[in-house]
Structure 1
Amino acid sequence: MAQPRGRLIIICGLPGAGKTTVAVELTEMHKGVRFSPDDWMDAIGINLWDENARAGVERLQWQQAQSILALGGTAIIEWGTWARSERDALREGARSLGAAVELIHMDAPIDVLLDRVTRRGRESPPIDRAMLEDASRSFERPTAEELALYDPPTKAPLP
């Protein structure tokens, strides 16, 4: 009997790009588990800017995601994954477990990102335009070559 094949869905993008909205929709569609460090950090009262805590949360979430993938389930990573090397590590780790891997790149103009992060008011101190512009310059947007390394989506996000 063949082992069930899990599916990892990586959602990458800047703050305010719509990652959470799409991740929640995909979680429902796939009956998957969504991993958002912001949610976990908020839940236990950790400042979202605490990079050491974020790294620890992401390590724990990745361990949990790998367990889900090994059981044939769907894990949805909503970390931002700004660097290609981070996305590559997730893809390779999931593939080593026999899982399919999708990448969804979320993008929006700086004005839209700023409006969204301002309205949600989640970060303290708040994200401002200069921070988003710096982040946009740092973000390694997936190229067509990189996107070709991923499996096609089984179900598209809701409009």
Structure 2
Amino acid sequence: MSAANPVDPAPLGPGLLVLVVGPSGAGKDTLIAYARGHLKGREDIRFARRRITRPADATENHIALDEDAFAREMALGSFPLHWRANGLGYALGAEVAEDVAAGRIVVANGSRAAVPAARARFARVKVVHVTAPLDVLAERIAARGRESGEAVRARLAREPALDAPPDLTIVNDGPAEVAGEKLAAYLRGL
């Protein structure tokens, strides 16, 4: 599931990690992209690019790693936070630790299952839960073209619970600009 970096257990701070979590298809990447575009010029806010053991594609801006490279980086302690979900490895890179150590706010697409490890690894964590009705989630997942039918249903059946109520919940079932502005406004207020 999730794990903090075992090499350096000291909590990272004084900055803030904002984990944007929620089910597949909720629109986390879309809302993060909206906020990034509307918070240009804010040097105190950074947006993380995850490392994922999946080839890069047009649906997500991530750094692709194969399983061997992911395991190597994990063993070296390069990831301040990493987890497994949906058969893939996910991680935040060393630049996240550097930005948080410099006192910045770092916004990252995360996993609900990784929240406890994030709270153990970072001195300050805020959780934004993005969600949508089940039919909207299924339609969005199918539209990506990575999965269909039973795979979509299986993905939606995996719903890890949060360890505590989120700091903000956004129901993303309308225009992306509306939900995106909720995230951007929240980040402006931090």
CA contact (8 A) 2:20 2:127 kept: yes
Shift in Å at residue 73 of structure 1? 1.2
Q: TM-score, normalised by structure 2?
A: 0.55
Residue 157 of structure 1: aligned partner: 183
The structure 2 residue matched to 1:108, chosen from 132, 149, 152, is 132
Which runs of 5 or more residues in structure 1 are unaligned? none
C-alpha separation in 2, matches of 1:52 and 1:32? 28
Higher helix share: 1
| CA RMSD, Structure 1 to Structure 2 (Å) | 3.8
Structure 2 residue matching 1:106: 3-state secondary structure: strand
2:115 maps to amino acid: R
Deviation at 1:64, TM superposition (A): 2.3
The question of 1:25 aligning with 2:34 is answered yes
Q: Which runs of 5+ in 2 are unaligned?
A: 1-12, 83-90, 169-180, 186-190
Bigger proportion of residues as strand: 2
Distance (Å, rounded) in 2 between the aligned partners of 1:52 and 1:82: 25
Deviation at 1:74? 1.8
Q: Percent identity?
A: 20
1:44-63 aligned at under 5 Å gives the runs 46=64, 59=82, 61-63=92-94
Counterpart of 1:147 in structure 2 is 165
After TM superposition, the runs of 4+ consecutive aligned structure 1 residues lying more than 4 A away are 43-47, 50-60
> Are the structure 2 counterparts of residues 7 and 89 from structure 1 closer, same or farther at C-alpha, using a change threshold of 3 Å?
same
- Residues 10 and 103 of structure 1 are in contact (CA less than 8 Å); yes or no, is this contact kept in structure 2? yes
Matches of residues 11-22 of structure 1 in structure 2 within 5 Å? 11-22=20-31
Query: Structure 1 residues 61, 106: CA separation in 2 closer, same or farther (over 3 Å shift)?
Result: same
Query: In structure 2, do the counterparts of structure 1 residues 111 and 52 end up closer, same or farther at CA, with 3 Å as the change threshold?
Result: farther
